[in-house]
Structure 1
Amino acid sequence: MTTKTPWLATHRARTPAARRLIAFPHAGGSASFFRSWVPHLDDDVELGVVQYPGREGRMAEPLVPSMTELATAVAEAVAADRAGRETVFFGHSMGAAVAYETLRLLTAAGSSTVTRLCVSGRQPDGAEVVTAPRHRTDGELLASMGALGGTRSDVLEDPDLRRMVLDIARNDYYLIDSYRRDPDAARLDVEVVALMGEEDAQTASPRMEEWSSVTTGPFSLHVFTGGHFYLAEHAESVVRLATATSVGSPGSRPVRGE
């Protein structure tokens, strides 16, 4: 039995769906970012995307400023599914941290059906240099978003849309800047798959490999061509990798487009 919740947007529902892939968006992102994944899903896989408050269908709801509050709410929504289906988490950038913390809560509560955690575009402990968290200025947000390339220029050119986008991004950047992973947290018992773009200035292969320390299960690292949002270009390959029965050994070379 699945309980409908605003926290999970279902882009493709199969009846019955034997497995489900749950995606966690990046800072400033929303559930619609993963809509392009739908054509690449197998028939037995349901795609659910975490919809953070304050965007799309939840625009009237207040933004969530802390990782603890966000992960707790998402964990409750995920646990509400009583079908006991095999689940894969896929988190990109900020979403990688949210997915990890959500899985920690589910595991501690004994209610996890997650067998694979995919962490994309974020090192386990974030930036090399950690500074005191603060709310970033419009200029700082625009510079960061422009460097990452995740927001369409026409959105930022519209004053009303730009204000909305910047308010959401400011909240999410503060949330992730305030977040510190507990180095003494109990290790997970799931497969962990790390993914990154070879030209992403925010990630480095040696640091991405540190995700292996969060689990007692198998680990692999896969490098794709492209930058921070490499997954837009490689949607089919990423979906196939995330939902494969067996991921296998890590790719030794960047994946070129199909």
Structure 2
Amino acid sequence: MHTPDGRPGSPRQEAARDAGWFLRPGGAGAAPVRLVCLPYAGGSGAVFRNWAAGLDGAAEVHALTLPGHAHRWRQPLAEDLHRLADDIADVTAPLQDERPLVLLGYSLGGLLAFEVARRLNRRGRAPELLIAAACPPPGLLPEGRNRHTLPDREFIALLRQMGATPEAILDEPEMIGLLLPMLRADFALSERYRYTPGKPLPTPIVTVGGSDDPEIAPAAMASWAEETTLSLTQIVLAGGHLFIHEDEAGLLAHIRDAVRTVANAPARDGVRF
């Protein structure tokens, strides 16, 4: 029987589970933690293809790809972040077993990871850790931004300024023409999002910011503390918005340490760390 909230075993959840959400770039089996990674706008699970090796066995990596991206290009692009978070919670909940679950989101992925964590918490088990990278605190997101509606020339200039897309793609009209609808849809997800204040998560949060990120100043990441009843740890790396590509090894070192702390912490009322 269909259950509208997508509880395990419902038709909605079974359909979502079969839609190719996750790539598994290794790290399976004996890893003590499951790490679900949500990419930035325009990205896919391939962004995290080196992470299982880089985490040196600390986590089993589940790298998420949104509908309409990469191998899911035939599927409709998402138009509502809250509905998308519902679907991601559906496919993530079955990964919660005796091992701790860590959610990591980068930029747009960080906002999605936060909303997924809220949904998992409402279902009875919050993730053991939330890592928000290059993502402003949801309560500080500016309203009224419509960058996704900019004319092509201005939108491409914005992408160039952010360093969000490789120059080789931006300089190839045919390639960027194919990618623009996907990129606009991803920008629209965050720009149409409306934050609803709620009970803080019983989940520690780690933030990672770029020292020169034009989207969010490192000091502003402190407001993530409002979203947790536990600890907030702030990390700043050298680089801009896509510091993930400027110092991936440095980023992975911090994530590896955080994940190992989760794995080694005793469970207490369903909470580790």
Please, what TM-score do these two structures have when normalized by structure 2? 0.82
Q: Which amino acid aligns with 1:205?
A: P
Please, what TM-score do these two structures have when normalized by structure 1? 0.87
User: How do 1:153-232 residues align onto structure 2 when only pairs under 5 Å count?
Assistant: 153-183=167-197, 185-232=198-245
Q: Which amino acid aligns with 1:71?
A: A
Q: In terms of mean alpha carbon deviation, does 220-229 or 84-93 score higher?
A: 84-93
User: How do 1:1-258 residues align onto structure 2 when only pairs under 5 Å count?
Assistant: 6-81=20-95, 83-112=97-126, 114-125=127-138, 129-131=142-144, 133=146, 135-183=149-197, 185-244=198-257, 245-246=260-261
Shift of 1:104: 0.3
Q: Which amino acid aligns with 2:60?
A: E
Shift of 1:129: 4.4
Q: Distance in 2 between matches of 1:228 and 1:16?
A: 33
Does the CA-based 8 Å contact 1:124-1:181 persist in structure 2? no
Over residues 133-168 of structure 1, what are the superposed CA-to-partner deviations in whole Å (9 max), with x where a residue is unaligned? Answer: 463332232122101112112223333321221111
Q: Distance in 2 between matches of 1:65 and 1:167?
A: 12
Does the CA-based 8 Å contact 2:200-2:228 persist in structure 1? yes
Cα distance change of structure 1 residues 82 and 226 upon mapping to structure 2, 3 Å threshold = closer
Q: Distance in 1 between matches of 2:111 and 2:142?
A: 17
Q: Distance in 1 between matches of 2:86 and 2:231?
A: 26
Shift of 1:132: 5.4
Q: Which amino acid aligns with 1:210?
A: S
Q: Distance in 2 between matches of 1:44 and 1:132?
A: 39
Q: Which amino acid aligns with 2:224?
A: W
Moved beyond 4 Å, runs of 4+: 126-129
Q: Distance in 2 between matches of 1:44 and 1:241?
A: 12
Greater fraction strand: 1
Shift of 1:169: 0.6
Q: Secondary structure at the match of 1:196?
A: strand
Q: In terms of mean alpha carbon deviation, does 68-77 or 235-244 score higher?
A: 235-244
Q: Which amino acid aligns with 2:174?
A: D
Structure 1 gap ranges (5+): 248-258
Shift of 1:32: 0.9
Q: Which amino acid aligns with 1:175?
A: L
Greater fraction helix: 2
Cα distance change of structure 1 residues 182 and 126 upon mapping to structure 2, 3 Å threshold = closer
> What is the number of residues matched between the two proteins?
243
Shift of 1:30: 1.1
Q: Which amino acid aligns with 1:241?
A: H
Structure 2 gap ranges (5+): 1-16, 263-273
Shift of 1:126: 7.3
Does the CA-based 8 Å contact 1:88-1:242 persist in structure 2? no
Shift of 1:128: 6.5
Does the CA-based 8 Å contact 1:53-1:61 persist in structure 2? yes
Q: Aligned Cα RMSD in Å?
A: 2.0
**Hey, what does 1:251 align to over in structure 2?**
none
Q: Secondary structure at the match of 1:80?
A: helix
Q: Which amino acid aligns with 1:162?
A: I
Q: Distance in 1 between matches of 2:212 and 2:67?
A: 31
Q: Distance in 2 between matches of 1:132 and 1:146?
A: 18
Q: Which amino acid aligns with 1:110?
A: G
Q: Which amino acid aligns with 1:207?
A: A
Shift of 1:63: 0.1
